[in-house]
Amino acid sequence: MFSNFDFDVIARSWQYLFFDGMAFTLMLTLLATIGGIFVGTILALMRLSGIKPLEYFANFYTTLFRSLPLVLVIFWFYFLLPYIGAWATGATRPMQVGAFNSALITFTLFEAAYFAEIMRAGIQSIPKGQTAAGYALGLSYWQVMGRIVLPQAFRNMIPVLLTQTIVLFQDTSLVYVLSLTDFLGAASKVAQRDGRLVEMYLFAALVYFIISFALSRLVKVLQERVAIVR
Amino acid sequence: MKYNWNWGIFWEQSPEGTATYAQLLINGLQWTIVTALCAWVIALAVGSTIGVMRTTNSKWANAFGTAWVELFRNIPILVQLFLWYFVLPEVLPKAWGMALKQSPNAAFYTAVIGLGFATSSRVAEQVRAGIKALPRGQTMAGTALGLNTAQTYRYVLLPMAFRIVLPPLTSEFLNLIKNTSVALTIGLLELTSRARSMQEYSFQVFEAFTAATILYLVLNVIVVAGMRMLENRVAVPGYTVGK
């Protein structure tokens, strides 16, 4: 069945695939996860702040992004960001944002909506008595959140946050629609250059599978650890 | 920095023959809905089967179910679609491969099968969770009544399990609708793809994307409301599920 296939194409292109493509994918995943958790935590705090306008905003934000396909959001930001940049800097021409920055901002803001829901659950999993105890000791809101609630919320939510990171890792393949050279983009470019679609896409699937599968095993281990500590 | 808004663009003729841009978007919405519905049928059928297999005592059924879920969950959907679209016709016998490639609606069939199978792994997880959430006594009661395994699942376990997992299944269906947009990469002319081509032809990028955004939001609201109604209709009195 594979007699007329040429798997040598992988050996010829692996440096490009991994040093260009996978490096881009991992960089985007890592930065968007950090940014997404940061923005998501702020959204979760807004949602639970008890201040109506903030609550409405956070609610609107998460509902909007969770209702839209990521592909559409990628297109939105790709065309919108140059205008926002120009508006912010007062320039008369659309700003050059750059494909990587555009993708990074898109994924950060999009995944923030999902991370926000996770962090909200995490914050709500901390017993009310702890917050009350913090205030009784005279701590401010930020001290209570920063020193008591959020560290525990993060800890409890690490497995879920990591699961969402795996989703994010797989989602980054969608930058293909902007013709960026992430891992899939690199595989696809080699595939079309050498006419080796079958080999390259099978290989790409295998690599994505191995990484996602390994990470999901890690999540299982972490889940048990977190459970035992509690 | 100025952008020239032109909301009248929707009623202008598109370069693609006789339709206006609005009609093209609506046509895209229809493909989104049809693709999502067809894929959902596959996802439900396959996913329920796999989910049930993972709750049986058979070692082989369990192993197969686990392998299925892990396989489809750990490969990005875009890559899965490429495998179905570019790779499958090449590894099949020549005649079949040619038939697949020349089929006029290849993108649609590929999207339905690819998205259906990908979603089936998620449905399987939900169905399994639903069955596991039932008290063990229910299986025993079924056995005590003289039902065999298939009958126990059909008349005792599954009716309750599906009711329990209706809310998570709703969000899986919403995810599936959103994921149909990934199929634009293999040439399916669904809503996002139509918005994109409207932007390319008319340069009214924000009008096109705003319209698509609103249509997705409306679709979401309708699905959520429909599933709420279904939940209320099938709710078993006295057995409050999740409320």
- CATH number of the domain that residue B166 is part of: 1.10.3720.10
Which residues numbered 125-164 in B keep a CB inside 8 Å of some CB on A?
none
Residue with tokens 């992430």: A182
| Residue of chain A whose alpha carbon sits nearest to that of B193 | A72
User: Tell me, what's the pLDDT at A3?
Assistant: 59
The minimal CB distance from A213 to the residues B3, B74, B196 is found for B74
Query: What residues make up the domain containing A209?
Result: 8-229
Question: Quick one: CA dihedral B25, B29, B31, B35, positive or negative?
Answer: positive
Q: Which amino acid is at B11?
A: W
Q: Is B141 domain-assigned?
A: yes
Selected for mutation to probe chain B from A93, A114, A162, A209 (highest B CB count within 10 Å) is A209
Interface test with chain B among A5, A17, A62, A67, by most B beta carbons within 10 Å:
A67
The token duo for A67 is 């209702």
Backbone angles phi, psi at A125, to 5 degrees: -80, -10
Residue B202 has a pLDDT of 85
Q: Given this model, what pLDDT does residue B222 score?
A: 96
Q: Does B171 touch chain A (CB under 8 A)?
A: no
What letter would DSSP give residue B185?
G
- Based on the structure, what is the number of domains in chain A? 1
Question: C-alpha distances in angstroms, B197 versus B65, B105, B182?
Answer: 40, 19, 15
Instruction: Tell me how close the Cα of B17 comes to any Cα of chain A, in angstroms.
Output: 25
Is B7 a member of any domain? no
Q: How far apart are CA B23 and CA B42, in angstroms?
A: 29
For the segment B53-72, what is each residue's pLDDT rounded down to a tens digit? 999 989 999 999 999 999 99
Closest Cα in chain A to B76: A170
Percentage with pLDDT > 70 across chain A: 97
pTM of the model: 0.91
**pLDDT digit string, tens, across residues B76-108:** 999 999 999 999 988 888 888 888 878 888 899
pLDDT (tens digit, 9 = 90+) per residue, B175-199?
999 999 999 999 999 999 999 999 8
pLDDT exceeds cutoff 60 at B243: no
Per the structure, the count of domains in chain B is 1
Is the four-CA dihedral B32, B96, B119, A76 of positive or negative sign?
Answer: negative
Q: Do B74 and A80 touch (CB under 8 A)?
A: no
Are B76 and A209 a contacting pair, CB within 8 Å?
no
Whichever domain contains A84, its CATH number is 1.10.3720.10
Would you say residue B209 lies in a domain?
yes
What residues does B20 pair with on adjacent strands? Answer: B13
List Cβ neighbours of A179 (8 Å cut-off, separation of 6 or more): A185
User: What is this model's ipTM?
Assistant: 0.91
Which residues have a Cβ under 8 Å from the Cβ of B204 and sit 6 or more positions away? B5, B6, B9, B198
B1: in domain: no
Contact with chain A for residue B4, Cβ under 8 A = no
Q: Which residues does residue B13 pair with via DSSP β-bridges, in sequence order?
A: B20
Residues belonging to chain B = 243
Domain that holds residue B130: 18-234
Q: Do the domain assignments include residue A3?
A: no
Burial label for A132, CB within 10 Å (0-12, 13-18, 19+), is: exposed
